[in-house]
Structure 1
């Protein structure tokens, strides 16, 4: 059963990474369009900078799920590395519990923000703000799901 969890976590993390990379390409194209429009043509666009900003938020939230699976987030682990194995395991589980709690809070309050954003329209693109705000609860839920699945897939390794 742990192999199923590990494979599921890996699949979701790779999918999140792929989506984040595609969003990065779209963001670079948007920024390139803005640079060409502003400095070559002399007529800056209204929408390109806003789109790039929204894509950056989506890249950050969705891409974070890909990093959770492999423990690639920035961390200062010098103290943890010095701990004995049982203490290290405890600190790792505590860290994961805190991360899961934060993801839950971000998903909950992000979903509330999506509701508020449904009454607002963006200036440049003219879309409901609920669309870019959706990246927050979606990314938090993906991070939580990948965290739970990847840790469940490693239970036999932890002891």
Structure 2
């Protein structure tokens, strides 16, 4: 299941990056060759960048390629290293739950209630912000899978001792 989700997110991110490239290319074309900048492309590129950043962070989290300070894990061995990894994953889950899901969900809800729309595209901002809790759910999904994997590794090492 994880591989299917990763593949879908990867393709979706590639599509979003392609759309952002085209939007910026159109912006440059209209500004410099036509002399009148397109009104919607700057906003579209900004919203696409938000989606790419948040969805990309969830994708990277699932691939365990995110930035980390790894001084302490390099010094630890065996069970202590796995316990530290468990603690780190739990902290990431707590952050994703509070900041992305709860905080992002409140932002989406308030934007929806107030009927806020973007200036140029007239798109409801709740549609733009919905990626925040979606990314949070994906991060938690990936980190729970990591926790299960670490736990199974610890359990199998205890059985072999």
TM-score normalized with structure 2 length = 0.87
| 2:65 aligned residue | 72
| 1:144 aligned residue | 140
Secondary structure of 1:127's counterpart equals coil
**Which consecutive residues of structure 2, in runs of 5 or more, have no partner in the other structure?**
156-161
| 1:17 aligned residue | 10
Candidates 55, 73, 90, aligned match of 1:97: 90
Secondary structure of 1:41's counterpart equals coil
Decide whether the 8 Å contact of 1:110 with 1:133 is kept in 2.
Answer: yes
Q: Distance in 2 between matches of 1:76 and 1:108?
A: 26
- Compute the displacement of 1:11 (Å): 2.0
**Which consecutive residues of structure 1, in runs of 5 or more, have no partner in the other structure?**
1-7
TM-score normalized with structure 1 length = 0.88
More divergent stretch after superposition (147-156 vs 75-84): 147-156
Q: Does 1:129 align with 2:122?
A: no
Q: Size of the alignment, in residue pairs?
A: 152
Structure of larger gyration radius: 2
Q: Give the aligned CA root-mean-square deviation in angstroms.
A: 1.5
Decide whether the 8 Å contact of 1:103 with 1:143 is kept in 2.
Answer: yes
Say which structure, 1 or 2, has more relative contact order (CA 8 Å, 6+ apart). 1
Q: Distance in 1 between matches of 2:8 and 2:129?
A: 20
Q: Distance in 2 between matches of 1:79 and 1:151?
A: 19
